[in-house]
């Protein structure tokens, strides 16, 4: 197990909001001991005292429930170093000795190539690992270039392209439900499933993230990575084991079998939107283009919907809808599996037999099954919903991801070819959108998004 985590961009939002609470959960659950150090580096030049103050504030805000011992251990394990990621001398100073380290690039994605090049010049001890988050490159060519740089630095097994959605309990439970039960796998195909919706609709707005989001937009922020990853887990063939190779091979098979959308398909099968001023509950929200740091000329979408087809024996004939948007009227975060209607209802019952729906709730994390059953009145049918909450996980998603990095298990990380295949799926859409083949619809904040359907 690696005991030194170096975070480049170590005093930013990602480090404070997710990595520090992740480390504190690892201490709380006995996964780390006093040998562990987390070195947070940036080029701001803070005093150790200012840094410790920042750590305390972040833990108050984002890990308020952590036990006092875990909090103390986290504070004792973290230290600050000034380093410019363009300077190989600065970066080399973060990696003393020849013990392997884990380097977390908590940096804007545009800086990944520079950081990887500097790490190469600085030299990494054998066995070191690199962690980075989406988007992996800005397009297919960018992802291929980044993958080449990473391959020169460390072996592929040591590259952790992390996606925190994959560490959520319900997402893990997609695998559990499918693979540890006989009942689902027998109907898990296009003969029984008409449509799968993979939805991340949020009431959250830009939240001051224009510096990142305005360059990316909903398609690259959510669909190209998180939602396609969920699609892989839903649609993959059962892997032989859950080892990194078996699992990732099966996920890549899914991405490779997604039919590329053509210019003729894209206006019917995709939609994009941008929010206008409105109100969400009690909250008044300014229009996206008035948010600080947004350039309206970029025409960044805050809503994206895409319908995909998988060309495979199992899935030919099932629609896969991926949809994500910000500033919507309500949160809907789930994978909904819609079964086909029954072929025939034998007894003249009143009421309709709505097709069954299996829902994997992503937030809140739950599982529900909507069925039709016999009602209390003679000859009636009525809906019945069975719902179960997931057990709270031992570790938050970032705790699990960090543990995998430190232990060296890349099964939940995205392999180089997976990242490239995911770009292959979205590239024709990005190209058609940039040529305005699909209008950028506007929707008032607090509504359900653009009104134009995707079919």
Q: How far is CA 243 from CA 68, 235, 409, 410, 411, in A?
A: 35, 18, 9, 9, 6
Choice between 31 and 164, CB closer to ligand BG6: 164
Residue 344 annotated to the active site:
no
Size of the site for ligand BG6 (CB under 6 A): 4
Q: How many residues does the chain have?
A: 455
Alpha-carbon Rg for the chain, nearest whole angstrom, is 23
For 302, phi then psi, to 5°, come to -110, 5
What whole-number distance in Å separates Cα of residue 190 and Cα of residue 435?
34
Choice between 213 and 320, CB closer to ligand BG6: 213
What whole-number distance in Å separates Cα of residue 324 and Cα of residue 222?
7
Choice between 62 and 245, CB closer to ligand BG6: 62
**Residue of 1, 76, 126, 204 interacting with ligand BG6 (CB under 6 A):** 204
We find the least distance from the C-beta atom of residue 400 to ligand BG6, in angstroms, to be 13
- Cβ-Cβ contacts under 8 Å for 362 (sequence gap 6 or more): 165, 168, 170, 171, 200, 333, 334, 335
Helix (H, G, I), strand (E, B) or coil at 219: helix
Binding track over 184-203 against ligand BG6, x by CB under 6 A: ------------------x-
Q: Which of 31, 164, 226, 338 is catalytic?
A: 226
Choice between 221 and 291, CB closer to ligand BG6: 221
Which residue is listed with tokens 């097994």? 157
Choice between 13 and 75, CB closer to ligand BG6: 13
We find the least distance from the C-beta atom of residue 387 to ligand BG6, in angstroms, to be 21
Instruction: Please list the alpha-helical segments (H only) found in 12-47.
Output: 13-14, 20-28
We find the least distance from the C-beta atom of residue 440 to ligand BG6, in angstroms, to be 18
420 contacts ligand BG6 (rule: CB under 6 A): no
We find the least distance from the C-beta atom of residue 103 to ligand BG6, in angstroms, to be 20
221 contacts ligand BG6 (rule: CB under 6 A): yes
We find the least distance from the C-beta atom of residue 62 to ligand BG6, in angstroms, to be 11
Q: How far is CA 320 from CA 167, 330, 335, 369, in A?
A: 22, 22, 10, 19
301 contacts ligand BG6 (rule: CB under 6 A): no
Which residue, judged by CB position, is nearest to ligand BG6 in the bound state? 221
Site for ligand BG6 in 7-26 (CB under 6 A): none
Query: Quick one: tokens of 308?
Result: 């995909």
- Summarize as ranges the residues that interact with ligand BG6 (CB under 6 A): 164, 202, 204, 221
Could you give the residue numbers annotated as active site?
226
């Amino acid at each position: 197990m690696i005991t030194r985590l170096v975070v480049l961009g170590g005093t930013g939002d990602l480090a404070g909001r997710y990595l520090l609470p992740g480390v504190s959960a690892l201490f709380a659950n006995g996964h780390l001991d006093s040998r562990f150090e987390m070195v947070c580096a940036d080029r701001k030049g803070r005093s150790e005292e200012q840094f410790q103050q920042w750590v305390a504030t972040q833990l108050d805000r984002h890990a308020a429930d952590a036990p006092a011992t875990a909090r103390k251990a986290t504070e004792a394990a973290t230290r600050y170093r000034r380093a410019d990621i363009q300077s190989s001398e600065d970066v080399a100073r973060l990696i003393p000795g020849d013990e392997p380290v884990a380097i977390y690039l908590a940096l804007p994605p545009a800086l990944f190539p520079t950081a990887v090049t500097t790490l190469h010049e600085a030299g990494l001890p054998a066995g070191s690992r690199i962690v980075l988050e989406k988007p992996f490159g800005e397009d297919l060519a960018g992802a291929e270039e980044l993958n080449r740089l990473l391959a020169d630095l460390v072996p592929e097994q040591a590259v952790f392209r992390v996606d925190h959605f994959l560490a959520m309990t319900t997402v893990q439970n997609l695998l559990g439900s499918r693979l540890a039960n006989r009942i689902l796998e027998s109907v898990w195909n296009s003969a029984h499933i008409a449509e799968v919706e993979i939805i991340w609709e949020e009431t959250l707005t830009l939240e001051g993230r224009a510096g990142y989001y305005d360059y990316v937009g909903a398609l690259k922020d959510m669909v190209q990575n998180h939602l396609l990853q969920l699609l892989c887990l839903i649609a993959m063939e059962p892997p032989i084991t859950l080892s990194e190779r078996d699992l990732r091979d099966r996920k890549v098979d899914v991405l490779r079998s997604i039919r590329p959308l053509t210019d003729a398909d894209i206006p019917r099968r995709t939609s994009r939107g941008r929010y206008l001023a409105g109100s969400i509950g009690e909250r008044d929200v300014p229009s996206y283009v008035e948010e600080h740091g947004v350039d309206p000329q970029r025409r960044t979408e805050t809503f994206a919907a895409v319908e995909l087809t998988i060309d495979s024996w199992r899935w030919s004939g099932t629609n896969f809808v991926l949809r994500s948007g910000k500033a919507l009227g309500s949160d809907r975060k789930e994978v909904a599996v819609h079964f086909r209607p029954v072929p025939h209802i034998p007894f003249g019952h009143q009421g309709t037999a709505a097709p069954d729906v299996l829902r994997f709730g992503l937030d809140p994390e739950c599982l529900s099954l909507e069925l039709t059953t016999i009602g209390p009145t003679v000859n009636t049918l009525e809906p019945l919903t069975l719902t179960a909450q997931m057990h709270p996980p031992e570790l938050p998603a970032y705790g699990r991801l960090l543990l995998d990095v430190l232990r060296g298990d890349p099964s939940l990380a995205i392999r180089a070819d997976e990242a490239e295949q995911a770009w292959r799926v979205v590239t024709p859409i990005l190209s058609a959108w940039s040529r305005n083949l699909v209008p950028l619809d506007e929707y008032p904040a607090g509504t359900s998004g653009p009104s134009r359907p995707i079919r």
